[in-house]
Amino acid sequence: MNQSLLTSAATSPKLRRAVFLDRDGVINRALVREGFPYAPKHFSEFEILPGVAEACAKLKAAGFLLIVATNQPDVGRGDVKQEVVEEIHAFMCRQLPIDRVEVCYHPGKGLSDCDCRKPKPGMLLHAAKELGLDLAQSWMVGDRWRDIDCGHAAGCRTVLIDYQYDEALHQPPDFRVGNLLEAANLILC
């Protein structure tokens, strides 16, 4: 018999819990035009939302890993330099206790077919494999249908920060809140 099959649940490593966070609209202010949110194209446009630092601190204190999972298709489309996104992420990680940033730079809009672009769960699955995460005990927090569908596909519970964007959800979230601090309080109750 395969030795790995003999390993009991008591001796196997304990999987960790995570909160996956979309970036734009969850951590930073999304730029809304005609009812749709857009990512900042310049570092000067990146603004961490009120309550985000407190929410992240509460989640970290409760033992959650914090992982940003973000589509940044403007890089793949040539509208934003990857260095700008990396500068934003470096600043974000200095300000907040983020454990990992997963990014999909593919352009989408039928120009790419990858497993990492939300709503596909590739970024969450990759982080789970790398960090030993229990996705069933983890959460996906986002502000768009892609985030909610991604969380469901990965087997996470989902929280929508509901800004009433001019786009329909494909699947209902498990919960709806007004901001990340409300999401953290819900996750921790």
Q: How many CB atoms lie within 10 A of CB 1?
A: 5
Please give the model's pTM, rounded to 2 decimal places.
0.91
Spatial separation of the C-alpha atoms in residues 142 and 31, rounded to whole Å: 15
**Length of the chain, please?**
189
Q: What architecture is domain 17-188?
A: 3-Layer(aba) Sandwich (3.40)
Is 147 in the active site? no
The answer to whether 172 and 188 have CB atoms below 8 angstroms apart is no
Pick the catalytic residue: 24, 143, 147, 149? Answer: 24
* Known catalytic membership, residue 166: no
The whole-angstrom separation of Cα 124 and Cα 48 is 23
Tell me the pLDDT of the chain (189 aa) as tens digits. 334 344 334 445 789 999 999 999 999 999 999 988 999 999 999 999 999 999 999 999 999 999 999 999 999 999 999 999 999 999 999 999 999 999 999 998 777 789 999 999 999 999 999 999 999 999 999 999 999 999 999 999 999 999 999 999 999 999 999 999 999 999 999
